[in-house]
Amino acid sequence: MMCPKCQTQNPDTAEYCENCEAKLVRSCPSCGHRNPYSYVFCGECGQKLDGTQVPQQPATPAQAPVAATASQPSPTVKWEVMPVAPVRISTGIQGLDPLIGSGFPANKVYLVSGEAGTGKTIFGLQFIFGGLILGDGGVYVSGDEKANHIFSDAWSLGWDFARYVESKKLAIMDVSPRFADLRAGRAKHIDTRALVSDLTKQVKAVGARRIVIDPVAPLVYGEQSSIFVQEHIRNLVLEIEDSLQCTTLITSDIVAGTPSLSRYGVEEFVTEGVIILGMSKQNGQRVRTLSVRKMRSTAADIQDHVFDILPHRGIVLGT
């Protein structure tokens, strides 16, 4: 150990300099660690070596105290943020999961849009049914179809939704009664918070992890201004994401012949991902197509993929 006074090199165990008898070490009053006499703070625990207490900053769970010395500046600590892969929810659509990183990132809202007859309702039914066979409860919100019509649509594909309703794993939520006041002129729009509150009760009743709102248009029935419509949909999406720990699909129609991605032109901006269903001609025949227009936090395949709708299997890509 070098003497700070005369620069004589002394044994590491020496307490005093063999040449000038200057004191070489200070023992920490807190942990007993031997420090060079020039140190103001203990290199082991950071305690001030004159015995006074050092004010401590509250340590975050990721931080540890860093010793500071008079002869050596405190080291710069670099924190590395380790990425955490999001939990994924299977779409239930054969051939789709590999295109979007093995499924939807959980607990977000996604848009499925397309012209009439492209398969939006079947997509929603299949998403719910795929969860039911995995043990995930589901809520199907319908604004323009009664429960018996939904059962019939599902049954035509070989899916027995009534059985899951009876076992309290599936809830069918008919929101059409909410439109009575709108049609009578007693209200101007649907109360978003009241709707989400009712939806929350259904989610808890069946232990839902998946929700389908098919279509979203009736939930903004009565809005006069496009600005109000956009704000209403935005509030609805945010309320669902903030209040419900569910992965949610909303469907929206596209007016034929227009380049829009949704009915109101805002759904695609406030949702986490967008899937477009369409029709095109290939080899002189009309075929249904699916494309992933947007999927946040995911490297997605954005090409058009041909699909068929088959009994018991529903939408199947790549046939």
Backbone angles phi, psi at 20, to 5 degrees: -115, 0
177 pLDDT more than 80: no
34-43, 47-56, 148-157, 292-301: the lowest-pLDDT one: 47-56
Task: Output the pLDDT for position 187.
Answer: 66
- Rounded mean pLDDT of the chain? 82
Task: Output the pLDDT for position 56.
Answer: 45
Task: Output the pLDDT for position 55.
Answer: 45
Using pLDDT thresholds of 50, 70 and 90, give the confidence band for residue 82: low
> What tokens were used for 7?
């620069």
* Gap between the Cα atoms of 233 and 264, Å rounded: 9
**pTM for the structure as a whole:** 0.71
CA distances from 67 to 39, 53, 75 (A): 11, 14, 8
Most confident region among 72-76, 188-192, 309-313 by mean pLDDT: 309-313
Q: Radius of gyration of the chain from Cα atoms?
A: 32
Report, as an integer, the average pLDDT of 214-243.
Answer: 78
Domains identified in the chain and CATH numbers: 1-82 (no CATH), 88-317 (3.40.50.300)
At 173, which helix (H) or strand (E)?
A: strand 170-174
Confirm if 199 and 242 have CB atoms less than 8 A apart: no
Task: Output the pLDDT for position 150.
Answer: 94
* Gap between the Cα atoms of 154 and 212, Å rounded: 14
pLDDT in tens, 183-222: 666 666 667 788 899 999 999 999 999 999 998 877 766 5
CA distances from 174 to 42, 139, 157 (A): 69, 10, 21
- Does 109 or 19 have the greater pLDDT score? 109
- Does 259 or 154 have the greater pLDDT score? 154
Q: Under DSSP, is residue 25 helix (H, G, I), strand (E, B) or coil?
A: strand
Q: Under DSSP, is residue 201 helix (H, G, I), strand (E, B) or coil?
A: helix
Task: Output the pLDDT for position 78.
Answer: 58
Angle between helix axes 147-155 and 120-132 (nearest 10 degrees) is: 80
* Gap between the Cα atoms of 244 and 199, Å rounded: 9
> What tokens were used for 231?
């704000």
Task: Output the pLDDT for position 58.
Answer: 46
pLDDT in tens, 24-63: 777 777 777 777 766 666 666 666 776 554 444 444 444 4
pLDDT in tens, 274-290: 999 999 988 889 999 99
- Does 164 or 12 have the greater pLDDT score? 164
Task: Output the pLDDT for position 26.
Answer: 76
* Gap between the Cα atoms of 178 and 30, Å rounded: 70
* Gap between the Cα atoms of 182 and 300, Å rounded: 40
